[in-house]
Amino acid sequence: MSILKKHHRRKLLEGPFPEAWENTLLSDVPYLTLLNDVERGQVRDTVRILVDEKYWEGCDGLDVTDTMRVVVAAHAAIMLLHLDTTDYLHNVRTFLLYPAAYLQTQERIGSDGLVHSGSANLGEAWYNGPVVLSWRDTMVAARHPGRGLNVVFHELAHAVDMMTGSTNGTPMLRDRSHYADWHRIMSDTFAELRSTYARGGRDPIRPYGLTNVAEFFAVTTECFFDAPRPLQAAHPKVYEQFSRFWGQDPAARPWPPRGQ
């Protein structure tokens, strides 16, 4: 990081946290009540940096407000609390916000081998490109945590996954010795879930996570942060691996959030 950027961040954080932004956190991000005072302070600092350093753009006529920026940035900041190697999601330069679910115009090849286009999306993350979000779904998830559904957690999990140079469901783990256990546990759980859903069973990790290993990481990240106790109960080894990677133990927090 350049000396100028370090100086700019230091000056940015010297001032008081904007009162209007604090009101947004209190009213729209009840998840913060699960955190301790030190963590909430870290979230506020990260929110200021993300709002300042990222480019925010509305799509389909949406005017992006500070409320939108702060809500999105707060959830990013929760994920980054103890993940020091990302430098505030350095590979994400832009957030694009749509009013609601939007049509994906890019063609893609589905698991059925057919070319699909025009599908409705709640969000997406591009390699070294923008993160795209449905604002309506972002706000619903923000105000109602605990369902294991959060489009910001999901898409930013993809962004963190991409920091390795590929999207393969294995982020840059904290130590080389961690990879063997990670691959074994994730592979076993992926196969187990295929059998569970084939039998008509249910699981905290929703079926979309079986689309591929990248989606498995993103969907499981949603559960880890937003429905950690069901994930821990159903898949303790997966939870342990995610806890080691993210550096957090959200199941130990005082669920449900106050003010929800």
Distance between CA atoms of residues 33 and 260, nearest Å: 9
The pair of three-digit structure tokens given for residue 106, joined into one six-digit string: 């890019």
CB atoms within 10 A of CB 27: 13
Contact (CB, 8 A) for 222 and 148:
yes
Q: What is the pLDDT of residues 73-105, one digit of tens each?
A: 999 999 999 998 789 999 999 999 999 998 865
pLDDT at residue 115 above 60? Answer: no
* Confidence (pLDDT) at 105: 56
Pairing of strands 108-109, 55-58: unpaired
On whether the pTM is more than 0.85, the answer is: yes
All structural domains of the chain, each given as residue ranges with its CATH number in brackets, are 12-252 (3.40.390.10)
